[in-house]
Structure 1
Amino acid sequence: MLNELLIKTRSHRTFDSTEIEIETLEDLVNAAHLGGSAKNSQTLRYTLVASQALCHKIFPHTAWAGAIPWSPTSEEGPKAYILISTLKENLLSPITLGIDLGIACQNILLKATELGFSGCLIGAFNKLDISQTLDLDTNTYTPQILIALGKSTDKVVLTKGNIDNLKYHRDVENNTHYVPKLSLETLILKKF
């Protein structure tokens, strides 16, 4: 069952018109909150966006699928966002903070998939413009990652990858995203 959920939890980049309730976003953040945190620091903070007016204001300040020359249209854009920020007074090293962010993001995406939604982690966004749009106190908080959410309309297919070419690609006409994955034999260095 977990493997099925992991396979279904992909980066989706086009969404239908289904809106997401603020209570659902709270459930997603609760999934993040239940995960681990280095030194139990709990330095992550969340800004929840279910307002369609704000979603439309955020969308132009995001970049999608950096490895290919394609982006969704604003009509295909997310119907909700979660902005994850950190306290400026954060005492975690960049590596440890990255682990906390990874745990939180994966928990959010797994829970979203379980609830019938999809998402995409966006690191390429205009932090200043989005902070201003969301009235985020940038003297206290640093925006780290934006999670785009909605009911996906695209399909993501895992394919066999090879070490020389792991670049994903998209069949725009069929709205299908292909993601090469290395074999376990390639990934496992040694077995004792």
Structure 2
Amino acid sequence: MLKELVAKSRSYRRFDEAVKISRQTLVGLVDLARLSPSGANMQPLKFYVSADAEKNESIFPTLGWAGYLKEWAGPEAGERPTGYILVLKDKGIAHVAGIDHGIAAQSIMLGAVEKGLGGCFIGNIDRPRLFQVTGLSPDDYEILLVLALGKPIEQVVVDDINENSDVKYWRDASGVHHVPKRTLQDLVVG
């Protein structure tokens, strides 16, 4: 069951905007992050959630969507996320977050997939603009990641590659999103 959730947890970038995500659902996903491991149990992460269409519209342009797809500016209206979770480091708790935000984000994404949702980890962020949009203070928080969530409408497939092949994801003529992954044989050494 876990392997299926992991396999379904792809980077989805197009969503059915008619399928709304509630704030309660987002807070429930944050609870999965709360229960996840934390380095030295410092728990330096905080989370800003948005299920509000107007707020989501202001968050959307602060994000870069697909670095390898140079010709694509991101999802069009009607295909945008209906929920966002900003993963923040509380500067008053810790100077560094270590790998906590990666662990938390994966827990959130697996929970989203379990609910029939999907999303994308976004690190290409116009942080100054996002601080303005959210009203958060850069004196108090560091924006580590944005998780864009919704009901996926795109097909994402994993293609095996060998260790010398290109790792860049791409879309075919039908709009299917291909994600090259190294084979298990290429990953296990010794």
One-letter identity of the residue aligned with 2:100: D
Equivalent residue runs for 1:8-19 within 5 Å: 8-17=8-17, 18-19=19-20
* 2:105 equivalent in structure 1: 105
* 1:78 equivalent in structure 2: 81
* 1:147 equivalent in structure 2: 147
Range that drifts further, 139-148 or 81-90: 81-90
The alpha-carbon deviation at position 86 of structure 1 amounts to: 0.5
Equivalent residue runs for 1:45-84 within 5 Å: 45-69=46-70, 70=72, 71-84=74-87
The alpha-carbon deviation at position 64 of structure 1 amounts to: 0.8
Alignment check: 8 A CA contact 2:39 2:98 kept: no
Identity of aligned residues (%): 39
For the residues of structure 1 that align with 2:82 and 2:109, how far apart are their CA atoms? 15
Residues 135-174 of structure 1, C-alpha deviations (whole Å, 9 max, x = no match): 1022111111100000000111001112231111112x53
CA RMSD of superposed structures (Å):
1.3
SS in 1 for 2:109: helix
One-letter identity of the residue aligned with 2:55: L
For the residues of structure 1 that align with 2:98 and 2:69, how far apart are their CA atoms? 25
* 1:168 equivalent in structure 2: 169
For the residues of structure 1 that align with 2:29 and 2:160, how far apart are their CA atoms? 31
For the residues of structure 2 that align with 1:43 and 1:11, how far apart are their CA atoms? 25
Runs of 4+ in structure 1 over 6 Å off:
none
Residues 71-117 of structure 1, C-alpha deviations (whole Å, 9 max, x = no match): 22233111110001111235354xxx241111000000000000111
For the residues of structure 2 that align with 1:91 and 1:34, how far apart are their CA atoms? 18
Gaps of 5+ in 1: none
- Is 1:89 aligned to residue 92 of structure 2? yes
TM-score (normalised: structure 1): 0.92
Give the paired residue count. Answer: 186
One-letter identity of the residue aligned with 1:107: S
* 2:45 equivalent in structure 1: 44
- Is 1:32 aligned to residue 72 of structure 2? no
For the residues of structure 2 that align with 1:152 and 1:53, how far apart are their CA atoms? 20
The alpha-carbon deviation at position 130 of structure 1 amounts to: 1.1
* 1:137 equivalent in structure 2: 137
For the residues of structure 2 that align with 1:80 and 1:89, how far apart are their CA atoms? 27
Alignment check: 8 A CA contact 1:78 1:148 kept: yes
Gaps of 5+ in 2: none
